[in-house]
Amino acid sequence: MPDSDRLIAQSHLDLNERIRKRAHEIWLSKGGSGEDTALDDWLEAEREILGEFRQPAQDSGTTVGKAGRSR
């Protein structure tokens, strides 16, 4: 396996582990009982962790159409 593939595989494992740990923290914060919230906790953790990788939208100041034009 090429080193690049190995690095990609490891990064996916690391990401999965971060999500797993965060989902567990969320579950514990809700009292740590029951499994009926497991999927919701996982998805919330996924949104939080993956949200860290998104760049905030930049305001380009672009105006669409006639909006903002003075007469």
DSSP assignment of the chain, as one string? --HHHHHHHHHHHHHHHHHHHHHHHHHHHTTS--STTHHHHHHHHHHHHHHTTSPPPP------TTTT---
pLDDT band at 63 (very low <50, low <70, confident <90, very high): low
Higher pLDDT, 35 or 29: 29
pLDDT at 40 over 60: yes
The pTM of the full predicted model, rounded to 2 decimals, is: 0.67
Q: What confidence category does residue 59 fall into, taking pLDDT thresholds of 50, 70 and 90?
A: low
pLDDT at 32 over 80: yes
Distance in angstroms (rounded) separating the CA atoms of residues 15 and 34: 25
Beta carbons of 44 and 29 less than 8 angstroms apart: no
